[in-house]
Amino acid sequence: MNGFERRKEKKKEDILRAALDLFRVHGFKKVSINDIALKSGASPVTIYNHFGSKDRLVQEVVKAQFKNMVEKYRLIIDGEGSFPEKLESIVFDKTSIISQFQGELVETLFRNDPEMQRFVEELWVRDSTRLTLDLLEKGRREGFISEERSPQAIMLYLEILRSGLSARPEMLAKLELTPEFCRELNNIFLYGLVGKTAVPGKPEGKARKKV
């Protein structure tokens, strides 16, 4: 890559970063190309030369965020920590992409954009499913998940939980202010409404409950 190509690529990255910052605060609809140009230091013409349209710029921003989220979750799953800690980090992730962009993501892209629908199905759903299965397998090995619980049922339950949280911005704000609430919800997921059981491998009473 020569000097011109490096400068061109850097300018594109600057535009994407500026657009992401603005979209996070104001949503997609309220941000104009002129707003992005002012924040990025690029002219509107340069932005159109790189992306063609605002819709295309929005697509590129969201795709980058999906890819970053997949990589983030991979690092969590492969990193240090117990299954409950990893589960809490992912399920109650306050930077989840669905909770970003002022709640406009589903309405703006997924319902009206076939290209983004294909992208989500091919990359995000495929990769997130694989990551979730890896996480569940770790949970089984650590003794937190019963063999009686199918991965499909657990994944559906997780999706319901994540979707419910994403639809309630005030709940996400509460999670951010009260980390102990995250842990309580995580324990309900792991141990049900009856209460937390003993440490894995150390039965409490006659039998140890599992997810």
Residue ranges of the domains in the chain? 1-52, 58-211
Q: Which amino acid is at 15?
A: I
Q: Are 92 and 165 in contact (CB under 8 A)?
A: yes
1-52 topology per CATH: Arc Repressor Mutant, subunit A (1.10.10)
Q: Which amino acid is at 190?
A: L
Nearest C-alpha neighbor of 107 from the set 167, 64, 162, 54: 167
pLDDT of residue 43: 94
**What is the per-residue pLDDT across 16-51, written as a single tens digit (0 to 9) for each?**
999 999 988 888 889 999 999 999 999 999 999 999
pLDDT of residue 203: 40
Structure-token pair, residue 111 = 């319902």
User: What percent of the chain stands above pLDDT 90?
Assistant: 18
User: What percent of the chain stands above pLDDT 70?
Assistant: 72
Taking the alpha carbons at both ends of the chain, their separation in whole angstroms is: 52
Residue 118, CA atoms < 13 Å, CB-side half-sphere: 3
Q: Is the pLDDT of residue 61 over 80?
A: yes
Section 46-57 average pLDDT: 93
Structure-token pair, residue 13 = 């990255």
Q: Is the pLDDT of residue 3 over 60?
A: yes
Q: Which amino acid is at 144?
A: F
Q: How confident is the model at residue 173 (pLDDT cuts 50, 70, 90)?
A: low
Section 54-76 average pLDDT: 87
pLDDT of residue 206: 38
**What is the per-residue pLDDT across 106-154, written as a single tens digit (0 to 9) for each?**
565 556 677 777 877 777 678 878 888 888 888 888 888 888 888 888 8
Q: Is the pLDDT of residue 99 over 80?
A: no
Domain boundaries 58-211, corresponding CATH code: 1.10.357.10
Structure-token pair, residue 138 = 């770790």
pLDDT of residue 68: 84
Structure-token pair, residue 98 = 């669905």
